[in-house]
Chain A
């Protein structure tokens, strides 16, 4: 709903999918916001494939990432992490470290961030230090004049552990008598971007929950009745692994504590959320904490707050009286900086002969380590039309690093199960998988995506499972994505025009690699009739108007309307100044192709000439995201996409190769189709890597991670990269002044499921656990042969 105290006006929007039939709706919108933006085909900058404006800086190495920041007198920090998975610390001796050459400060951590904590403090084990609950847990940090000196000194911190029994395997942790990770029920605060689980959940042993229902409400309908009414019921058991985020740039900050305030350069997805957390931890007014993220080397949900490293670096800087850089090493990054929880799902789906679903029931046990939020129920709850849906989900605590939000929390896991079971239902009912989805999914965008993708990939030529002769079998599979249109209302931009005709935009929003810098330039340029490269974009600094945190695929949806609104307001200011010269009222001044002219034709001037009319050096406008336009009937929007995958499976070695992916996605109005494609490429590749390779491997006997590097933690590389064909549909719903949406998360949700369905189509064998390694594929093929021999 719009703010009732502000004037509004009515506008008519054409809604629907470009290329399809459009209808018209009328929404009341704030009077200060610009007129309806026509579809992309009628625009000159928005919707055009625009190479990122900072691409040159990035490829030449000129872009300054947090890891590149060097301040005068800067010290180098190093974290001291726990070497055991569970312990009470008897004592910590920092004296040798303090005396080591080059050391300027040593700080022992007092308040651990990012993990669950025992809710009733009186039930926590008594200890002078935070209890160690995972190997790699930060305990202290050292600042010294060189990285090497800091590393050497860190080794001199002596920690005396009283070692406690531990458990790292989620199945073991569920057993009665398993070592307890927490002595009493524990909770964790949620993070921006959708991590963390609900609070106050009943806990038995290491198991928290199961919780019924999900993010958008309680269970629906009566599943018992649904299953009795079903003509077919399919049940499957699925397991997914723990995946770590592995951004190229690890977590880290440069913290500079000064008497008049704290400045922090951070590799973060949220300048504002880092500011807020540091202000809270250090008791500073938010205005005295400045967070800067000029360029950012990747984040998939684990880089929101200040993090342990941010708090430690700030303490060190305060203590040493000098700026401190603290970037995690790769090992610490794997161990302690977040991960995607595992899942163990038992999923039942009931359907009528005609395909319509009658019931979905999901039981899931996942582990988020010492964190919460291992739910995977989103797809089961929200993907398909089904009258009865029950999800029951539990977090299983183990002695391992806490999970954090990770690119569509819960959804790749949930999709992996749901989309395979839906395919099994289709097979049982002898209905084509796409035809079944048309029956159970009424979403117009998804329907369009299925049709476009099927045409492009050649779905009609799909063969029956396992029909290739020879050891290498090819297959084609499909799966869909679901995600939600979240909006961050704390999204503001200022746009300035200067008398020389130059234009700049300022906002705290950060570009985490998704390309928002370029999208913002396009939006402002479109409004002012300029080129994207004409606009100077200054972002990633909390000294600018507050920007949204980049998680939950909110950025483009949240900030581009604010940018357009601000550009429109400043444009109206300029229009008023030139209106007399052009001989028309300000409302009839047009700006396009670098010109400022009367709508009716006649006089015209260049944008630069117009700017000369400024009475002051600069004019400026500030705007903030307003609520989605609505007539009171708007329902909460979902995004999605449909991915088609072609694989080859070598049935003698178990090696799966993904050959081709056709990814069809929607994201409202695509601002920069090239940027959207890059996000889809990244989502697909991360999805393949998750499906086939990545796995956090903990040693069962010691609880330590054996692959905390980028060699033994396996990630897809160039040779595993398939041909990716992306089709982006334009879905207009008149939601805001840009009607833009998000793509980061939906792009990775369905990939693993689509691969599994393709492997089934290739071999006739279902892969119910990821990563689908050669060992697992061979085992599944052998089990199927045995089964075949028996029947």
Chain B
């Protein structure tokens, strides 16, 4: 770890004033600390935003939608009654990430903005494409945990569980910069390596996430989230799915199906969403949708098993949203 200056910001403006190309924001610090220790980042200044007042609240309800401060912890989201009851996918995404200790420290903003866990990226030994090097070592290397979609340039999977749930729920992010605020839909916020391989989103270097917005739920819609890992304790998903299903009568009127641990961004399975519309949600339609979701997958040498996994996890998550659990 390099030596750095520590700045405690108590307001968003103060934080903005301290930012620059050699500064790094620190919220819970879970990801930041890992990166500093491995020498992936060597900022001159660490700007602690943890103490900014007012950014740690969850407001709203089913009818108004949610306004979530970026400093809300994963642990808070997990147990918040409204989130749990009505925005189940979000609560479950938060509640299954990492470990209880980490969830107590980790913030929602930090979770969305954390850098990928590709083991080449995380090791100081590999100067890969994402770090400004020439090669994506995963393409012909050890890629069992890598992406099965959109993996041609850089094969990371987006690490954020909240990102997967937020895209499914149609959420957006409020970004505050020196020139004011802008709101970006989560789905557009996350960007593919083809856009810029050295980053995973469109946050400006001088911007801070100041609010996470989840729109109100259409009545009768339900969401669900599943994380499947090789093990449950202290581990990442090998397949992750968040779905929101709206119905009119027995038939599905709109579905949103988002895969995590599948692509460099939370990946919307648009084909699968279409399959469901106008059909009742049952085992047969869930199966067809799951199959459709995997069309166009381009697995690498070591992660073909993920297509089988996702078929199961998508089907099960859909059925859960359909009340079949």
Q: B-contacting residues of A (Cβ < 8 Å)?
A: 83, 135, 148, 151, 652-655, 692-693, 697, 699-702, 704, 706-708, 711-712, 714-720, 773-775, 778-779, 782
| Cα-based distance from A353 to B168 in the complex (angstroms) | 61
Chain A nearest Cβ from B229, distance in angstroms: 8
Cβ-closest chain A residue relative to B315: A652
Q: Are A702 and B126 in contact (CB under 8 A)?
A: yes
Mask for B94-127, Cβ within 8 A of A = 1, else 0?
Answer: 0000010000000000000000010110110110
Within 8 A of A (CB), among B289-312: 302-303, 305, 308-309, 312
Chain B nearest Cβ from A414, distance in angstroms: 25
| Cα-based distance from A558 to B307 in the complex (angstroms) | 55
| Cα-based distance from A779 to B309 in the complex (angstroms) | 11
Q: Are A652 and B312 in contact (CB under 8 A)?
A: yes
B123: chain A residues within 8 A (beta carbon): 704, 706, 708
A704: chain B residues within 8 A (beta carbon): 123, 125-126
A706: chain B residues within 8 A (beta carbon): 119-120, 123, 141-142
Q: Are B231 and A712 in contact (CB under 8 A)?
A: no
A778: chain B residues within 8 A (beta carbon): 305, 308-309
A699's partner among B141, B228, B234, B308 (CB-CB below 8 A) is B141
Q: Are B120 and A717 in contact (CB under 8 A)?
A: no
Q: A654-B305, A654-B309, A701-B137 are in contact. Are A775 and B120 (CB under 8 A)?
A: no
A707: chain B residues within 8 A (beta carbon): 119
Q: List 16 A-B contacts (CB under 8 A).
A: A653-B239, A653-B313, A655-B230, A699-B137, A701-B137, A702-B137, A704-B123, A707-B119, A712-B119, A714-B230, A715-B234, A716-B231, A719-B233, A775-B303, A775-B305, A778-B309
Q: Are A653 and B312 in contact (CB under 8 A)?
A: yes
Known: A653-B312, A717-B234, A774-B228. 16 other contacts (CB 8 A): A135-B125, A653-B228, A655-B228, A692-B230, A692-B231, A697-B119, A699-B137, A699-B141, A700-B142, A706-B119, A708-B123, A715-B234, A717-B235, A719-B232, A774-B238, A775-B302
Q: A701-B140, A716-B233, A720-B231 are in contact. Are A779 and B305 (CB under 8 A)?
A: yes
Cβ-closest chain B residue relative to A136: B125
| Cα-based distance from A83 to B125 in the complex (angstroms) | 8
B3: chain A residues within 8 A (beta carbon): 148
A711's partner among B1, B125, B234, B305 (CB-CB below 8 A) is B234
Cβ-closest chain A residue relative to B99: A717
A708: chain B residues within 8 A (beta carbon): 123
Q: CB of B144 within 8 A of chain A? A: yes
Cβ-closest chain B residue relative to A151: B1
Cβ-closest chain B residue relative to A651: B312
Cβ-closest chain B residue relative to A710: B234
Q: Are B142 and A699 in contact (CB under 8 A)?
A: yes
| Cα-based distance from A135 to B233 in the complex (angstroms) | 30
Within 8 A of A (CB), among B206-229: 228
Q: Are B119 and A700 in contact (CB under 8 A)?
A: no
For the residues of B in contact with A, the DSSP-based class is: loop
A773: chain B residues within 8 A (beta carbon): 230
For the residues of A in contact with B, the DSSP-based class is: loop
| Cα-based distance from A718 to B230 in the complex (angstroms) | 14
Task: Name the 3 nearest CB pairs between A and B, nearest first.
Answer: A717-B233, A719-B232, A775-B305
Q: Are B125 and A714 in contact (CB under 8 A)?
A: no
Cβ-closest chain B residue relative to A155: B39
Chain B nearest Cβ from A679, distance in angstroms: 22
A711: chain B residues within 8 A (beta carbon): 234
Chain A nearest Cβ from B2, distance in angstroms: 8
| Cα-based distance from A652 to B314 in the complex (angstroms) | 12
| Cα-based distance from A717 to B230 in the complex (angstroms) | 12
Chain A nearest Cβ from B234, distance in angstroms: 5
| Cα-based distance from A516 to B1 in the complex (angstroms) | 39
Chain A nearest Cβ from B46, distance in angstroms: 15
Cβ-closest chain A residue relative to B2: A152
B1: chain A residues within 8 A (beta carbon): 148, 151
Q: Are A714 and B119 in contact (CB under 8 A)?
A: no
| Cα-based distance from A652 to B308 in the complex (angstroms) | 8
Chain B nearest Cβ from A9, distance in angstroms: 56
Interface residues on B, range: 20 to 34
Q: Are B309 and A693 in contact (CB under 8 A)?
A: no
| Cα-based distance from A697 to B126 in the complex (angstroms) | 15
| Cα-based distance from A366 to B157 in the complex (angstroms) | 34
Cβ-closest chain A residue relative to B123: A706
Q: Are B309 and A653 in contact (CB under 8 A)?
A: yes
Q: A652-B312, A693-B231, A706-B120 are in contact. Are A775 and B142 (CB under 8 A)?
A: no
Cβ-closest chain A residue relative to B305: A775
Q: Are B233 and A697 in contact (CB under 8 A)?
A: no
| Cα-based distance from A773 to B144 in the complex (angstroms) | 11
| Cα-based distance from A485 to B255 in the complex (angstroms) | 64
Chain A nearest Cβ from B104, distance in angstroms: 16
Q: Are B231 and A717 in contact (CB under 8 A)?
A: yes
B309: chain A residues within 8 A (beta carbon): 653-654, 774, 778
| Cα-based distance from A654 to B308 in the complex (angstroms) | 10
Mask for B133-160, Cβ within 8 A of A = 1, else 0?
Answer: 0000100111010000000000000000
A715: chain B residues within 8 A (beta carbon): 234
B234: chain A residues within 8 A (beta carbon): 711, 715, 717
| Cα-based distance from A653 to B238 in the complex (angstroms) | 10
Chain A nearest Cβ from B227, distance in angstroms: 12
Q: Are A714 and B231 in contact (CB under 8 A)?
A: yes
Cβ-closest chain B residue relative to A773: B230
Q: Are A701 and B230 in contact (CB under 8 A)?
A: no
B238: chain A residues within 8 A (beta carbon): 774
Chain A nearest Cβ from B325, distance in angstroms: 14
| Cα-based distance from A719 to B229 in the complex (angstroms) | 12
B313: chain A residues within 8 A (beta carbon): 653
Cβ-closest chain A residue relative to B140: A701
Q: Are B230 and A693 in contact (CB under 8 A)?
A: yes
Chain B nearest Cβ from A356, distance in angstroms: 41
| Cα-based distance from A655 to B308 in the complex (angstroms) | 12
Chain A nearest Cβ from B40, distance in angstroms: 13
| Cα-based distance from A778 to B312 in the complex (angstroms) | 12
A720: chain B residues within 8 A (beta carbon): 231-233
B230: chain A residues within 8 A (beta carbon): 655, 692-693, 714, 773-774
B239: chain A residues within 8 A (beta carbon): 653
B120: chain A residues within 8 A (beta carbon): 699, 706
| Cα-based distance from A715 to B125 in the complex (angstroms) | 23
| Cα-based distance from A774 to B239 in the complex (angstroms) | 11
Cβ-closest chain A residue relative to B231: A720
Chain B nearest Cβ from A91, distance in angstroms: 22
Q: A701-B140, A775-B305, A778-B309 are in contact. Are A717 and B125 (CB under 8 A)?
A: no
Cβ-closest chain A residue relative to B125: A704
Chain B nearest Cβ from A650, distance in angstroms: 8
| Cα-based distance from A791 to B85 in the complex (angstroms) | 51
Chain B nearest Cβ from A693, distance in angstroms: 6
Chain A nearest Cβ from B58, distance in angstroms: 27
| Cα-based distance from A418 to B25 in the complex (angstroms) | 55
| Cα-based distance from A692 to B233 in the complex (angstroms) | 13
B231: chain A residues within 8 A (beta carbon): 692-693, 714, 716-717, 719-720
Chain A nearest Cβ from B159, distance in angstroms: 12
| Cα-based distance from A652 to B239 in the complex (angstroms) | 13
Chain A nearest Cβ from B212, distance in angstroms: 26
| Cα-based distance from A127 to B235 in the complex (angstroms) | 44
Cβ-closest chain A residue relative to B118: A706
B308: chain A residues within 8 A (beta carbon): 654, 778, 782
A652: chain B residues within 8 A (beta carbon): 312
Chain B nearest Cβ from A295, distance in angstroms: 24
A148: chain B residues within 8 A (beta carbon): 1, 3
Q: A706-B120, A711-B234, A720-B233 are in contact. Are A774 and B142 (CB under 8 A)?
A: no
B122: chain A residues within 8 A (beta carbon): 712
Chain B nearest Cβ from A786, distance in angstroms: 14
B305: chain A residues within 8 A (beta carbon): 654, 774-775, 778-779
Cβ-closest chain A residue relative to B144: A775
Chain A nearest Cβ from B72, distance in angstroms: 24
| Cα-based distance from A184 to B289 in the complex (angstroms) | 60
Chain B nearest Cβ from A60, distance in angstroms: 20
